[in-house]
Structure formats: structure tokens, C-alpha cells
Structure 1
Amino acid sequence: MAASVFKFVSVSAAALVGLYATFLGLLTTQTFQRHVVYLHKIQMTWFSDLDVPETFGFLRNQATPFILKSSDGERLYAWHILPLEIFRKHELALLEEPVELVSDFTSKLAFKLLREDPDARLILHFHGAVGTVGSGYRVPNYRTLSAGQPGKIHVLTFDYQGYGRSSGTPSENGILLDAAAVVEWAINTAGISPSRILIFGQSMGTAVATAISNQYARQEPPVVFAGTVLIAPFVDAATLVSTYRVAGTIPILSPLATIPTLFKALQGFIRDKWSTKDRIAQYVRANEVNGESYRLTIIHAEDDYDVPWSHTPELFWHAVNATVPTGISHDELEEKRSEIKTDLGAAGSVMEW
């Protein structure tokens, strides 16, 4: 009996090892890796009509679906969301317009209310992996963001190429072109100055938000936005996969981290690097050199099981290090913690540099 049990356990263990090895092999291929990293085929809004935002809890024509064009020719599905007070002031006129995916958003009243208001603020929302603009907690997030100033804050959110109703296939280079297209639309078509635009990213979207903020800060002449907010950011793709656990329990690649040579070899197959640690340092350094006033905010829950909280202190160090001409060590930053940290009890803590 004991021998039979041992044999069963041995066979099961061998099968699991074989399946894991197969998974690792597939992970080195571009197509499989893309699906694992971006999860773009998991829409989570299969049975809802994105062209009718009211089904997601918005008022009629408070949110307008429309199409943006990326510079590589991809069609990007987007929502513009009116702040509640602006909607109420113009409710009757807005209710007269049809609810539809519009081919020319510039002809809509919602666009005019954005473009013609000199006090309007615009949040460009970069969502994370999985889903669409209407998935899960994203819709409540839009409302929360706009509620900061319900008479001024508009929200523009969109699906990257390969997500939802957007065309194409996701890649780091392609998504960065998407982000640039959205920023250019906001500045040049909607006429919103960068000083009235907030870049907001969550999870995977933090890598996009950091990259686009860095790109504009380093161009000539430099462009600096009102702020960049990163919710649950990660150091880079390689570090994320080494720490990621499904539902916070099942490790994906962390077992390999105990074998540095093998793990480093596998990391070499990761095509889209999403190196936020490098870009955040470049962004800070560029603004420091240019003498620009900038605001970078990082927010992370300590019990986040998707993106471990440990990524944020590392990113904070990279940002702070870029402000010091001679650099600052981790130990030196730790010594300054008591000076820059404010404990808020159950609400967490804040460190400001």
C-alpha cells in the first residue's frame, strides 16, 4: 500500500514538473509571452455594450465612446467622461444627442465643453492588463477621479492596441505609440495645455504612464504635465514576473529565482522590458537638469497581491537617487526615513522628498 502511494505521488510530481517545464518553454515564445504579460484577450465585458456607457452606470451621454488613431495606424477605442457638475448644467442639451460610438467626437457637445473651458482639467487614464475601459473597478475609479473637482475634472480612458475594441496586437513599442497619440490628441485636438493634464496609471498602466511622462520631459522643448500618479507600479517586467503570484498564492516564476543562472537566462527571453526603474530616474533627472517643476506621486497598498508592495520602495529610491548629483545609497535613504515619513495610522504612511 505504501509503495502504491509513493508511486502515485512520484508520478503526480513528475507530471507537475513536466507541465511547469512546458509552460516555461512556451513562455519563451513571443505569442504565448504576449498573452501572459498583457492578458488582452480576457475582456471581462463580453456581455456588455461598450458603446452604451449607461449600462456601466453613467448618465446618458455623460460618457462618449469614440475612436482615436495611433501613429502606426491602429484604431484606439476611447471614452471621454464629463464631470458631473458640467453634465448637470448642460443635461437637457446632452440628452438630445444620440447614444452611439461617434466617428467625429469634435462635433459633440461634450468635446466643446472640454475644449472651451479654460479651467477644465483632464486626467489621462492608463489602465492595467486584462479587460477593457469598462472592466471591473475601472468605472468606479473614473468617478472617484472626477469627484476631486466635479465641475472641472474630465477623464479620458482608452484601450491599448489589441485590447477590447481597439485594433492591433499589444507590444511595448505599440502601446507607447498609443499613449503618445492620446497625449497629442489632448494637447493639439482638445487644446488642453500640459499644465492642466494629469497622467494617471494603474498596475501595468504605471509603466505606460512613466514612459510617456519621461518621453515628453526629455524632448525639445520639454513638456511637463500637471503631475504623474502611479498606482501599484512595478520595477520592471522581469522583476514583476519573479515576484508575481496568482491570487497572491501560486508563484509563477519565483521558484526559478532560487536558481539565478537559469532565471537570468529566462529573463533574457522577456521581449517587452517595461523598465520603470530606469524611466522614472530619467524622468526625474531630466526635470532636475531642466529646472522644471514636476510632481510624481506613487501609491501602493501593502497587501497588494497582484503587484507586491516591495516594488514601490525600490522605485522611490530610484527617483530620489536621480535628484542627488552624487547619488544616495539605500542605507542613506533609510536613515532619512524618519525625517520624510509621516505615519497616518490605519491610513498608511506618506514619504515626501
Structure 2
Amino acid sequence: MNGLSIRELCCLFCCPPWPSKIAAKLAFLPPETTYNLVPNENGTKYTLFLSEKAEWQYSEREKENIEVCYARTSRGNKISCMFVKCSPNARYTILFSHGNAVDLGQMSSFYLGLGSRINCNIFSYDYSGYGASSGTPSEKNLYSDIDAAWQCLRTRYGISPENCIIYGQSIGTVPTVDLASRYEVGAVILHSPLMSGMRVAFPNTRRTWCFDAFPSIDKVSKVNSPVLVIHGTEDEVINFSHGLEIHSKCPKAVEPLWVEGAGHNDVELYSQYLERLKQFVSTELGN
């Protein structure tokens, strides 16, 4: 009927999982914080301090390209935000929602390297309960977190929607799809996206249950911006089929990047990754 076994159906109807439990099981593993935001005397600006666990790969001078601040969410949390000035003549700024088990400190070197190579500035944020952000991780907080980041990017940095590329990786594709379904932006990049929580936990699921978490598959058809989907064919966490299905549902999907042999955490190590992003940003969006 829906692809689930009798045993799985019995489990669902006798003891259905709440969305928060699905989310906690599948998504949220905040790492030990790898950075601090230290306020100045007036408390109006903050300085970024990275611990050794952040594994910063550049010089102290290059760290000056990073500006940090806090944004308040509609659910009362204070999330840390990071603006990485990678290119003085960048047309686009990427609003990057990172994957699980990392924070802004661990991602900082990657952001500087990526933005410099594809000529984009990068703005990112830590989810509630991650890094220096307050609160606890939850699906509802994910959506309010990206809304706060979006408003910060728009108001503090004056980035217009048409010059914004919103990029989600793994669990970060969930708030990215949600935002993109409500706002038209320059482009969307979905890196190892998931259809929904239940479809990860029960791969044979063919419909969205009322208690499902992260139902991106039901929102992605409302995304009216160009969408690039990236997925490794040997992804051991979110099966490659999720990327295929998400791509098929995007009204303005561009040629996807299926990285042959790549898993969940190593797509960026393949040369096709940077090549496809450069082509997408400099050629396809430029036209």
C-alpha cells in the first residue's frame, strides 16, 4: 500500500514517533563548541576566537575577513552568525546552512576556501543549541533559525534576494528548502538533501505521515528559484534516491551533480564539486 512492511506499520500505528523524536534521532548531534564570540567594551561588536579544534587553516590576518554577530529568532533564541568576506567583487552571497555535528568554527576554513574559489561571499549561522547559539535543536527552531539569519543578511548586510544563493548541506537542506519555498532568491543549492525524516528511517516509505519530520519533499515543488542538487551515489547516511527524487520535484532544477562513488561526507573532495559550483555561479546564473 505504501511500501512499509506489516511490522513497520504496526510500529507506526501502535506507537507513532513524534516529529521531535525523529529529529533528535536522525539529525541533531551538536559538537563540542570550537569558538567563542567575545563582545567589545560597548557590547555592540564581537570578535571571533577559534579553539584548536576548529582547525583554522589560514593565517591570523586572513581571519580578519570574518565578521561575527548574533541574531534573535522568533522563538527567543540567540544564534551566532558569521559573514566571510571572500571576494571584494562578489556578486553573490551564499547563505549556508551546514550539516550535522559541526559548528561555525569547524566550518570557517571551508567557507573561506570555498568562497574564494567560486567568487562568492558566505554568510552562515549556527542552529539553536549549536556552537555559541542558545536554545536546543529542534525542527521548529531550524525554521526560525534560518529566518533570523535571512533577516540579518538582508538588513545588516543589505543583500538583496536576487543576489543571494541559499545553500543547504544534509540536515541544512531542511531549513533551506523551507526558506526557498517562501522566498524567491538568486539560486538554491541542495547538497545531500533528504526527502523527510521517515523516509530516512524507513527507506520504503512512499508518503508523508502526519508525524513525519523534515518533509522537504512536500515543499520543494514550491521553490521557484534555480536549484542545483548535489549527491554522492554511495551516500551511506541519506540514500542517493533522496537526491534523485528531490531533483525530480524541483520546477527549475538545473543539471544535477551526481558524484560517482562519493559518500555523505566526502563530496567536496571530488574535483567535480568545485567545477560544477563554478559553472553554476559564473556561467549559468550569469546568463
Q: Normalising by the residue count of structure 1, what TM-score does the alignment of the two structures yield? A: 0.57
Q: Check conservation: 1:65, 1:78, Cα contact below 8 A.
A: yes
User: 1:262-341 to 2 correspondence within 5 Å?
Assistant: 270=211, 273-283=213-223, 287=224, 294-320=225-251
CA gap of 1:302–1:158, structure 2 versus 1, over 3 A, is same
Letter in 2 for 1:60: K
Secondary structure of 2:214's counterpart equals coil
CA gap of 1:341–1:269, structure 2 versus 1, over 3 A, is closer
CA gap of 1:75–1:281, structure 2 versus 1, over 3 A, is same
Letter in 2 for 1:317: S
Q: Does 1:57 align with 2:57?
A: yes
1:132 paired residue number: 103
Once the 2 structures are TM-superposed, how far is the Cα of residue 204 of structure 1 from its aligned partner? 0.7
Q: Check conservation: 1:199, 1:227, Cα contact below 8 A.
A: yes
CA gap of 1:138–1:242, structure 2 versus 1, over 3 A, is farther
1:143 paired residue number: 113
Secondary structure of 1:215's counterpart equals coil
Once the 2 structures are TM-superposed, how far is the Cα of residue 227 of structure 1 from its aligned partner? 0.2
Percent sequence identity over aligned pairs: 20
Secondary structure of 2:95's counterpart equals strand
Once the 2 structures are TM-superposed, how far is the Cα of residue 165 of structure 1 from its aligned partner? 1.3
2:177 paired residue number: 210
CA gap of 1:341–1:129, structure 2 versus 1, over 3 A, is closer
Secondary structure of 2:202's counterpart equals helix
Structure with greater Cα Rg: 1
Secondary structure of 2:247's counterpart equals helix
1:92 paired residue number: none
Once the 2 structures are TM-superposed, how far is the Cα of residue 160 of structure 1 from its aligned partner? 0.8
* In 1: Cα distance, 2:259 partner to 2:29 partner: 37
Once the 2 structures are TM-superposed, how far is the Cα of residue 72 of structure 1 from its aligned partner? 2.1
Once the 2 structures are TM-superposed, how far is the Cα of residue 125 of structure 1 from its aligned partner? 0.4
Q: Check conservation: 1:28, 1:269, Cα contact below 8 A.
A: no
Once the 2 structures are TM-superposed, how far is the Cα of residue 242 of structure 1 from its aligned partner? 2.1
CA gap of 1:343–1:65, structure 2 versus 1, over 3 A, is closer
Q: Check conservation: 1:40, 1:162, Cα contact below 8 A.
A: no
Letter in 1 for 2:158: G
* In 2: Cα distance, 1:68 partner to 1:208 partner: 16
Query: Deviations along 1:289-329, whole A, 9 cap, x unmatched?
Result: xxxxx311101111222211111111122225x99xxxxxx
Query: Deviations along 1:180-223, whole A, 9 cap, x unmatched?
Result: 1111111222111111111000001111111101022xxxxxxx
Letter in 1 for 2:191: I
* In 1: Cα distance, 2:111 partner to 2:242 partner: 22
CA gap of 1:73–1:196, structure 2 versus 1, over 3 A, is same
Query: Deviations along 1:251-298, whole A, 9 cap, x unmatched?
Result: xxxxxx6xx8xx99xx96956x21111111122xxx4xxxxxx31110
Letter in 1 for 2:196: D
Secondary structure of 2:124's counterpart equals strand
Q: Does 1:199 align with 2:166?
A: yes
* Larger strand proportion of the pair: 2
CA gap of 1:298–1:73, structure 2 versus 1, over 3 A, is same
Larger RCO (CA within 8 A; separation ≥ 6): 2
CA gap of 1:30–1:303, structure 2 versus 1, over 3 A, is closer
Structure 1: tracts of 5 or more residues without a match: 1-24, 87-116, 217-223, 244-256, 288-293, 324-339
Letter in 2 for 1:133: L
Q: Check conservation: 1:34, 1:171, Cα contact below 8 A.
A: yes
* In 2: Cα distance, 1:343 partner to 1:213 partner: 22
User: 1:179-198 to 2 correspondence within 5 Å?
Assistant: 179-198=146-165
